[in-house]
A and B are shown apart, each in its own frame.
Chain A
Amino acid sequence: DGGITQSPKYLFRKEGQNVTLSCEQNLNHDAMYWYRQDPGQGLRLIYYSQIVNDFQKGDIAEGYSVSREKKESFPLTVTSAQKNPTAFYLCASSLDFYNEQFFGPGTRLTVL
């Protein structure tokens, strides 16, 4: 089955700890994205990558970091510098930057 996987589904961390969220796709898509969604809010773009070994900041990149060492993988690290990290994190991919995006099931991060 082709698709996007994110793990874990739920994640709890203590304040001040860094945490890395996993995103893997086997759709052979070049572009990958990370979004954050807060209750009752729209999607906000954190980082995106159009190709391996390249990524760009989105609208709310502060306190986050990413890497794109493999085409299939685009992990997101939520650092202790992110002031309000509790949210629903969604990873997406697309064939290229102009096509429709397909989403993973998301990770709900709660920082205690």
Chain B
Amino acid sequence: RKEVEQDPGPFNVPEGATVAFNCTYSNSASQSFFWYRQDCRKEPKLLMSVYSSGNEDGRFTAQLNRASQYISLLIRDSKLSDSATYLCVVNLISNFGNEKLTFGTGTRLTIIP
């Protein structure tokens, strides 16, 4: 099992639709979770942190499910500008107790007019 796993997509979604991505992680002790957005040939940019109680920022909602070890990102009323690759990031703890943020390979989203 990969440490951080995402469905690579692509997800092709009509404008205005709601789309959701999941990301599973392997280490139950993980404490920090983030979603990043990366546009083509650009650097990743922080979209939102994911808190235990879930959090919302405009059209974006992030949820954490510790029991099943996944985080989710929901985008409502999708816009053309939402087309990007969405990266899931989790802090993973090695057998030696070292922590590091680990990036998933990303889910590619294309919003269709």
CB distance from A21 to the nearest CB of B (A): 14
- Within the assembled complex, what's the spacing in Å between the Cα atoms of A101 and B99? 14
Contact of A43 among B32, B41, B91, B103 (CB under 8 A): B103
Q: Is the CB of B100 within 8 A of A104?
A: no
B interface: dominant SS = strand
Q: Which residues of B contact A99 (CB under 8 A)?
A: 32
Q: B87-113 CB contact bits vs A (8 Å, 1 = yes)?
A: 101010000000111011110000000
Of the residues B31, B43, B45, B106, contact of A42 by C-beta under 8 Å: B106
Are the C-beta atoms of A98 and B99 separated by less than 8 Å? yes
Chosen A-B contacts, 9 in total, with CB atoms closer than 8 Å, are: A41-B105, A42-B105, A42-B106, A88-B41, A98-B32, A98-B99, A103-B44, A103-B45, A104-B43
List 19 extra interface pairs beyond A94-B101, A98-B99, A101-B46, CB under 8 A. A35-B103, A41-B105, A42-B87, A42-B103, A43-B44, A45-B100, A58-B100, A88-B41, A98-B91, A100-B46, A100-B49, A101-B89, A103-B43, A103-B45, A104-B43, A105-B42, A105-B43, A106-B42, A106-B43
Which residues from chain B sit less than 8 Å from chain A, CB to CB? 31-32, 34, 41-46, 49, 87, 89, 91, 99-101, 103-106
Interface residues of A (CB under 8 A from B): 35, 41-43, 45, 48, 58, 88, 90, 94, 97-106
